[in-house]
Amino acid sequence: MDEDLKSSRDELQAINADLRAQNRQLRRANSDLETLLESADMAVLVLDRAFRVRTFTPAAAALCGLETGDVGRPIFDLPARIDHSDLRADAEAAGATRRPVDREVRLDGTGEMVLMRIKSHRTAEGGQDGYVISFLDIPPRARTETVPERSYPDLDRHYAELEALYDTAPVGLSLMDRDLKWTRINQRLADINGIPIKAHIGKTFHQLLPDLAEDLDATYREILRTGEPSLENSIETTFPNAPETVRNFSADFYPIHLDGEVQAVAACVTEVTEQKRLLGELSESERRMKRIFDAAPMFIAIFEGPDHVCGYANPATRRAVGNRALKGLPVREALPALRDQGIFQCFDAAYRTGTRQVVPEFRFAFDRNGDGRTLEGWFSQVLEPVRDGAGEVIGVISFAYEITDQVEARRAAQESAATKTFLLAELQHRVKNTLATVRAISRFLVPGAATATAFHDRLSARLGAMSRTHDLLTDANWMATNLADIVAAEATSYERGRDRRVIVRGEAIPLTSKQALAFGMAVHELMINAAKYGALAGDDGHIEIDLAARRSDAPARMVWREIGGPPVGGAPDRKGFGSVVIERVLVSDVNADISICYEPGGLRFEATF
């Protein structure tokens, strides 16, 4: 028993001695490590598996704001001077890959950027024990780009300005590293993507913008490969937060060169959805307008510049000008037939003054069918100035339509109205002259009438003669009547049965209406005279009338001979209405030469005209 106990004590003492030795070694090692870390002024932070603070160097304490009492507390519970939002993910990545993970982090307060390197720490048995985080200065070449040196206040200020610009620029801006992971993105672009700024950092296109990833990756890789920017990329896409809304962007991608190498790719993104929509509408509106113009039955053409160079002519216009070339030609060259119509001056005025010019009616004769025949037409035209966005007149649009039918219809109507007025005037003239003639007849009948009844009888007889002549004139359309017809009309009331007492021989002598009226009255007076005193006074006499038409060497002639009447005792003493009609009216109105002979066998009257 004593021996067992003694051996046990010995063994225990040996173990204790070992343990003491190991403890000494461990203390020395710890001391050496601390000395090493402190002397190297390295910022190192050691976390256990649950991210509790295990130890840290003074440099790390200064950097991260740690105090001695923080040991054992989870790093996430401590007021962070560094952004460690990705720490857990990075640490797990480092543990899984057994490779250190580097991340650039910004120190709060100073804005300084440092490289945070996370390494997995393992137990001797190979299990996950914790993480060693070391903070390294960013290599000088990178820092010149992203970190202002404290010793350069200007650069600092510039950087601040750049930051402000980045945050407030009305365009989307982002930066991706060589691994095509976001390192920076401004609010504008983050909003466009519909993802918070922080959620972008370290992520790839495939992770956040899967729809665009393939194209953008290809573009970015090309930039990384060639070092050349890719400008004005049109991007049309939808976003998960509004899958129905198609949005358009214009993006420029630039390589960021450092020491001759492309270290990152910057993106500058502008949303052009509205512009694209407006352009689309404009272009649709133009197409619609052109369709309307093309189908319009009127002539539409657009002319540009002070010389009115034709830029567009609708099919109606092209057909109207016989498909001759218009486009590209100044209007004066294209349509020289319009010269002298004042049209070109209207083009000039519309362009110069910017006011609409209206040409209500102009004549235009040109080869319309291209077959060499010139056709005349009447047109109406409106010239409207065309303005650019700034309101400057840049051209003239011409709207014209053919009014040939209307002009002709109006002319016909005018002619018809003129004809009507003419006919009314003619009718008025005849009626009024007839009445004036009746007035004159009455005057000259008064001296031969002893009583009112006698006057009435005398007047009635003359009106009857006038009326008969009017009937003949009307039958002949008031053109040429025949002297024989007038004589026959006046003779009718003196004929007795089958024996003709008035014998008319010879040729037809055409008379004008004025001549007819004068002869009508004159023959009537001759008949009355014959019935009263001449061949028709008794039962046996008769009158022979010979008519000869006008010839080139002789005037027309009427010879009136009374045969078989009572003996004629010479010319009557009193000159009554009959002699007025024959000696004055017939002579004047027919322009006739007359002779009246009171021969023993009977009266002989002759008129040549």
Partner 1 sequence: MAETDILVLEDEMLIALDIEATLQDAGYESLKVCTSVAETEHYLQDHLPAVALLDINLGRDGTSFELGRTLLARGCPLLFMTGYTQSTVGLPDELSDARRIAKPFSAHELLEGVAGLLAKAPAAQ
- Least separation in angstroms between residue 314's CB and partner 1 is 47
- Helices 404-445 and 452-475 cross at an angle (nearest 10°) of 150
Q: How far is CA 188 from CA 161, 196, 268, 407, in A?
A: 17, 10, 10, 67
Min dist CB 513 to partner 1, Å, is: 9
- Taken in order 29, 32, 36, 38, the sign of the CA dihedral is positive
Closest approach, Cβ 502 to partner 1, in A, equals: 25
Instruction: Pick the closer one to partner 1 by CB: 7 or 588.
Output: 588
* Beta carbon of residue 415, minimum distance to partner 1 (angstroms, whole number): 17
Q: Which is nearer to partner 1, 28 or 432 (CB)?
A: 432
273 token code pair: 């959805």
Least separation in angstroms between CB 441 and partner 1: 7
Question: Among residues 149 and 593, whose Cβ is nearest to partner 1?
Answer: 593
- Please say which residue, 337 or 587, places its beta carbon nearer to partner 1: 587
CB of 418 to partner 1, least distance (A): 11
Three-state SS annotation for 218-276: HHHHHHHHHCCCEEEEEEEEEECCEEEEEEEEEEEEEEEEECCEEEEEEEEEEECHHHH
Q: Are 364 and 402 spatial neighbours (Cβ–Cβ below 8 Å)? A: no
* Cβ proximity to partner 1, 383 vs 586, nearer residue: 586
Q: Which residues pair with 398 in a beta bridge?
A: 301, 383
CB of 328 to partner 1, least distance (A): 52
Q: What's the rounded Cα separation, in Å, for the pair 118 and 585?
A: 144
Shortest CB 473 distance to partner 1, Å: 14
Q: Which is nearer to partner 1, 239 or 478 (CB)?
A: 478
Q: Comparing C-alpha atoms, which of 396, 311, 310 is closest to residue 351?
A: 396
Nearer Cβ to partner 1, position 237 or 428?
Answer: 428
Cβ 581 to partner 1 shortest distance, Å: 7
Nearer to partner 1, 19 or 418 (CB): 418
Q: How far is the CB of 461 from partner 1 (least distance, A)?
A: 16
Q: How far apart are CA 30 and CA 57, in angstroms?
A: 13
Nearer to partner 1, 430 or 550 (CB): 430
> Which residue is associated with the tokens 């480092």?
94
**Least Å distance between CB 515 and partner 1?**
10
Say how far apart CA 206 and CA 192 lie, in whole Å.
16
319 or 550: CB nearest partner 1? 550
Sign of CA dihedral 173, 178, 181, 184: negative
- 379 Rama class: left (phi>0) / alpha (psi -120 to 50) / beta: beta
Q: Which residues of 191-220 are buried (b: 16+ CB within 10 A; e: fewer)?
A: ebbebebeebbbbbbeebbeebeeebeebb
Nearer to partner 1 (CB atom), residue 70 or residue 589: 589
Burial label for 343, CB within 10 Å (0-12, 13-18, 19+), is buried
Q: How far apart are CA 341 and CA 219, in angstroms?
A: 63
Q: How far is the CB of 589 from partner 1 (least distance, A)?
A: 5
Work out the end-to-end distance of the chain between its first and last CA atoms, rounded to an integer number of angstroms. 197
Length of the chain: 609
434: left (phi over 0), alpha (psi -120 to 50) or beta: alpha
* Contact assessment for residue 118 and residue 87, using Cβ atoms and an 8 Å cutoff: yes
**Alpha-carbon separation of residue 367 from 361, 401, 408, 537, 588 (angstroms):** 19, 17, 20, 79, 58
Rounded to the nearest 5 percent, the helix, strand and coil shares of the chain are: 45, 30, 25
Q: Which is nearer to partner 1, 404 or 512 (CB)?
A: 512
Distance CA 458, CA 445 (A): 7
* CA 131 to chain centroid: 73
Q: Considering the complex, what minimum distance in angstroms separates the CB of residue 580 from partner 1? A: 7
Nearest to partner 1 of 382, 587 (CB atom): 587
Chain residues binding partner 1 by CB under 8 A are: 421, 424-425, 428-433, 435-441, 443-444, 512, 514, 518, 521, 580-581, 584-585, 587-589
